[in-house]
A = this chain, B = another copy of it.
Amino acid sequence: MSTETLGEKLRQIREQNELPLRKVSALLDIDVAILSKMERGERKLSKEVVLKLADIYKCNPEELLVLFLSEKIMYEIQDEDLGEKALKVAEKRVKYLKANKTK
């Protein structure tokens, strides 16, 4: 399985596209330093930045967003013994919400 972080993946994609941080950060309208830190996991990414990056790199946003969200989830349960149980409960609730969305 992939154990790559979102930041690592984004760096990889950027390098494949042969774009320097300078150019990407200009397109994103954020400081180079911040983007550098984001790719190395020193700063958090926002959903907006992730979507913009998917656009810039012309890649599927879904994969990136799923990774983005799952990292936020992982952060919450860190090394909790009950993390897995909590995930299952959350899954049930999401399904429940989805089923009753329109009601």
Smallest Cβ-Cβ distance to A87: which chain B residue: B91
Contacts of A69 in B (CB 8 A): 76-77, 80, 82-83, 85-86
Which size class do A's interface residues fall under? Answer: 20 to 34
Smallest Cβ-Cβ distance to A98: which chain B residue: B84
- The smallest C-beta distance from A53 to any residue of chain B, in angstroms, reads 16
- The smallest C-beta distance from A66 to any residue of chain B, in angstroms, reads 5
A68-B86, A70-B90 known; 12 new pairs, CB 8 Å cut-off, are A62-B82, A65-B86, A66-B85, A66-B86, A69-B76, A69-B77, A72-B86, A73-B77, A77-B94, A84-B98, A87-B90, A91-B91
Bitwise, A60-103 to B at CB < 8 A (1) or not (0) is 00100111111011101101101111111111111111100000
Smallest Cβ-Cβ distance to A97: which chain B residue: B79
Contacts of A82 in B (CB 8 A): 62, 65-66, 69
Smallest Cβ-Cβ distance to A47: which chain B residue: B80
> Once the chains bind, are A76 and B84 in contact (CB under 8 Å)?
no
